[in-house]
Amino acid sequence: MKVLRAKSAGFCKGVERAINIALRDAKTGRYSHIFTDGPLIHNNQMMAELAGHGVRELDSDHKNLTAIPPQERDKCAIIVRAHGITPQRREILKKLGIDFHDATCPDVAKIAGRVKMCANKGFATVIFGDPQHPEVVGILGYAQERGYAVRTLEDIQKLPPLGDKVCLVSQSTMFVDDFEKIAEALKKRFPAAEIYNTICGATRDRQGDIPALVEQGAQAIVVIGGRHSANTVKLAKLVEASSVPCFHIETLAELDLNALKSFKTVGVTAGASTPGFLIDEVCNAIEKL
């Protein structure tokens, strides 16, 4: 069977950077305890891989850190997740008294910087994204309590009066077309609003690869990645909206290979947090059909 592998499948630069920071800390021998503030990335298999190197999540109440004797704290490190955190959370982590390493995706950091700059100038911030997503939560922390997350056109109408100083940014993994619709609606309500399309290049590339796979002859597309990964879920939705069947899986074990036997050409893509070894396993299994 012919397999068409999307050019963008696999780690984006931000995820790769975060993993490299964690592995660097694990391999130096400098630390006996390495913590991440929440999942470093949204992929269970890669987090399990990191756990094998001694990298684990910090408990919400910090119990797994406070259980370590004070004399051993100089051998501990905390790593900020790729999604970023609020400035308030950053201060809390820095006060833990252990080495602090920031693995925030540079693209996410740029969005936070944009929001901070606008907030300092008196702007209210509207962010297109999931209000519960850690990236959105972190970015809103820079809005100086004048930040609002919106997901739909209806949410735009529910916004309170914000005056003339309004700026719009986006969670980095949203649909490009949806952002344009949100921007148009916001402009109608707040004509002076400043629009900043902050959807990252990696997300644009992945979304663009879906129609490209179909054009190349893919009769079905397998999307590999966590079901809690925002960019992976959006890829699956794009496939579902196209003319071919979608198979969203986290690992090869979930893939119904028998269901693929009726196709001659299958496309394979993956979310930004999906490690290459998972993609290779899936592609190899499909090619053997």
Can you give the pLDDT of all 289 residues of the chain as single tens digits?
A: 999 999 999 899 999 999 999 999 999 999 999 999 999 999 999 999 999 999 999 998 999 999 999 899 999 999 999 999 999 999 999 999 999 999 999 999 999 999 999 999 999 999 999 999 999 999 999 999 999 999 999 999 999 999 999 999 999 999 999 999 999 999 999 999 999 999 999 999 999 999 999 999 999 999 999 998 999 999 999 999 998 999 999 999 999 999 999 999 999 999 999 999 999 999 999 999 9
23 contacts: CB under 8 Å, gap ≥ 6: 50, 53
Domain check: are 237 and 182 in the same one?
Answer: no
Residue 275 amino acid letter: P
3-state SS, residue 106: helix
Q: Which range marks the domain in which residue 236 is found?
A: 2-10+204-287
Domain check: are 52 and 73 in the same one?
Answer: yes
pLDDT at 125: 98
Contact 126, 170 (CB under 8 A): no
pLDDT at 240: 95
Rounded to an integer, what distance in angstroms lies between the CA atom of residue 20 and that of residue 8? 19
User: What's the farthest any 2 CA atoms get from each other in the chain?
Assistant: 62
Which of 61, 78, 104 is where one domain is finished?
Answer: 104
In angstroms, how far is the first alpha carbon of the chain from the final one? 6
pLDDT at 158: 97
CATH number, domain with residue 134: 3.40.1010.20
Domain check: are 100 and 116 in the same one?
Answer: no
Domain check: are 99 and 17 in the same one?
Answer: yes
Which of 79, 104, 129 is where one domain is finished?
Answer: 104
Domain check: are 127 and 96 in the same one?
Answer: no
Domain check: are 94 and 151 in the same one?
Answer: no
pLDDT at 205: 95
pLDDT at 257: 96
Q: Given 135, 180, 194, 240, which residue is catalytic?
A: 135
CATH number, domain with residue 36: 3.40.50.11270
pLDDT at 60: 87
Is residue 135 annotated as a catalytic residue, yes or no?
A: yes
Domain check: are 125 and 95 in the same one?
Answer: no
What the block records as the tokens of 134 is 């850690």
Residue 113 amino acid letter: G
Which of 195, 219, 245 is where one domain is finished?
Answer: 195
Q: What values do phi and psi take at 191, rounded to 5? A: -55, -30
What the block records as the tokens of 209 is 């690869």
pTM of this prediction exceeds 0.75: yes
Domain check: are 69 and 100 in the same one?
Answer: yes
pLDDT at 221: 98
Q: Which helix (H) or strand (E) holds 4?
A: strand 2-5
Give the number of domains in the chain. 3
Rounded to an integer, what distance in angstroms lies between the CA atom of residue 149 and that of residue 91? 23
Alpha helix segments (H runs only) across the chain: 13-28, 44-51, 63-66, 87-94, 106-120, 134-140, 153-158, 176-189, 201-215, 230-240, 257-260, 276-287
What the block records as the tokens of 140 is 């809103």
Rounded to an integer, what distance in angstroms lies between the CA atom of residue 63 and that of residue 224? 34
Rounded to an integer, what distance in angstroms lies between the CA atom of residue 174 and that of residue 207? 10
